[in-house]
Structure formats: structure tokens, C-alpha cells
């Protein structure tokens, strides 16, 4: 089963995305801050990380650490989406 981490400080987004992805057969993990997300990244073999780039701690806690995180299967791809 493919694993996905969703990091967002909006609980409603976490709930909706988790339900949608689980219905499609994904194993979904969630975090409400970058620090929590980094703990999951270090502990679980993930296939995809979806982050809210506008979170205050995202760039300093999760995104910067992902670049330096040494994981043989980790492939970084950036897809930017803006919703109003």
C-alpha cells in the first residue's frame, strides 16, 4: 500500500484529504505542524508528502529538512497549487 503524509494546520483539510485518499486505497498519515511532520518522515517509509507551503513553520521545520534528509527512495517533486 502506498503511504502519504499530509501536513497542514487546518484540521478540516486534513480530514477531507485523508478520507479522499483512504477511499482510493492509500495509507494516510497526518501532521498539523512541520515538526510533527518531520518526526513522521523520519519514522515511516513514505511515498508522498503533501504540505501546506503557507504554514508558518513549514519552510523551517519540514521543507528545509526534507532536502537534507537522507533516504534512498525519497524523490522530491514540487507541485504548487493555490486555492482561494
For residue 81, is it within any domain? no
pLDDT at 35: 81
Q: Whole domain around residue 35: which residue ranges?
A: 3-68
Domain annotation covers residue 8: yes
Helix (H, G, I), strand (E, B) or coil at 81: coil
The model scores a pTM over 0.85:
no
Q: Is residue 77 part of a domain?
A: no
Domain assignment of residue 82, yes or no: no
| pLDDT beyond 70 at 75 | no
- When divided into structural domains, the chain yields a total of 1
Residue 58 inside a domain? The answer is yes
**Tens of pLDDT along 4-54?**
999 888 999 999 999 999 999 999 999 998 888 888 888 888 888 888 777
- For residues 62 and 34, the answer to whether their CB atoms sit within 8 Å is yes
DSSP assignment of 31-69, as one string?
ESSHHHHHHHHHHS--SEEEE-TTSTTIIIIIIHHHHH-
pLDDT of residue 62: 57
Say which CATH number the domain at 43 has. 3.40.50.2300
Q: Give the Cα separation of 48 and 28 in Å (integer).
A: 10
83, part of any domain:
no
Amino acid at each position: 500500500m502506498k503511504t502519504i503524509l499530509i501536513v497542514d494546520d487546518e484540521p478540516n483539510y486534513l480530514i477531507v484529504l485523508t478520507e479522499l485518499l483512504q477511499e482510493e486505497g492509500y495509507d494516510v498519515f497526518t501532521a498539523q505542524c512541520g515538526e510533527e511532520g518531520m518526526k513522521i518522515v523520519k519514522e515511516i517509509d513514505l511515498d508522498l508528502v503533501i504540505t501546506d507551503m503557507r504554514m508558518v513553520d513549514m519552510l523551517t521545520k519540514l521543507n528545509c529538512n526534507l532536502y537534507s534528509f537522507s533516504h534512498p527512495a525519497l524523490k522530491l517533486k514540487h507541485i504548487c497549487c493555490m486555492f482561494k
